[in-house]
Amino acid sequence: MAASSALEGLLVPHILPAQCYDELLVRFNLLHIPCLKILISKGLGFAIVAGSLMVKLPQIAKILGARSAEGLSFNAILLELMAITGTMVYSVSRSFPFSAWGEALFLMVQTVAIGFLVQHFGGHTGRGASFLLVYLGLLSFLLSRFTPPAVVTTLQASNMPAVVISRLLQAATNYRNGHTGQLSAITASLLFAGSLARIFTSIQETGDLLMALTFGVSSFCNGVIMGQLLYYWNVPVDKRKKA
């Protein structure tokens, strides 16, 4: 009895509404579709958030190991960071559950680190430090009460063109180089899978079609990068060096 109460306290209301807890875990009505959708959505959401803790670590490790950020477009990173920031700020302002957007926080930290490393290994460490300071100041302002709601909504709406342009810039860099350089296949795969799953969780947990559409566009663009990684997978090392 105590174990059951402890489990209920853990799951309700953070994972499941009380009604769904009763349906699924008390009555064992495992075919209750609305509650199953909630459970799947919450499970996917927290899995994405947990995965985001390390989704870009392979990319960071690859840059540090090679001591090079060859093949990574800094402009694409900036636009991706803009999209991630827009999602995070918009979600916080709308009080969406953390499971619906939490990965944006961890992706933001890792993307900022990658942006700095691109500048550092490009011989522009001072510029990289300036980038960090400017971004942190801007983020503090956007999360403050001084930012008008209209600005936050506009930032989220700009995510789609930002994602498209950032991926096109990276795709163009890959095409121009004839290889994908230090781009991590693991990171690209996780981003692609995560954005696909987020289409479902956004609809289920927030009901916000703007967020769902943004993740749909992101999935398509991440798929383009995945396609390039597969296409250039067997490019010989000597050809990469010449490029």
Average pLDDT over residues 130-157: 92
According to the model, what pLDDT value does residue 65 have?
A: 93
pLDDT at 128: 95
- The whole-number average pLDDT for the span 10-36 is 77
Structure tokens at 171: 């795709």
How many angstroms separate the most distant Cα atoms in the chain? 69
Tokens coding 55: 């989704």
Q: Which amino acid is at 34?
A: P
- pTM of the predicted model, to two decimals? 0.73
pLDDT mean over 208-220: 88
CB atoms inside a 10 Å sphere around CB 138 = 12
Three-state DSSP class for residue 72: coil
Q: What is the CA radius of gyration of the chain?
A: 20
Q: For the residues of 146-202, what is the DSSP string, one character each? A: TS-HHHHHHHHHTHHHHHHHHHHHHHHHHHHHTS-TT--HHHHHHHHHHHHHHHHHH
Rounded to whole angstroms, the Cα distance separating 7 from 25 reads 10
**Nearest alpha-carbon partner for 164 in 195, 128, 142, 190:** 195
Q: What is the pLDDT of residues 31-60, one digit of tens each?
A: 888 888 888 888 888 888 888 888 899 999
pLDDT tens figures, 89-109: 999 998 888 888 888 999 999
| Cα–Cα distance measured from residue 150 to residue 135, given in angstroms and rounded to the nearest whole number | 20
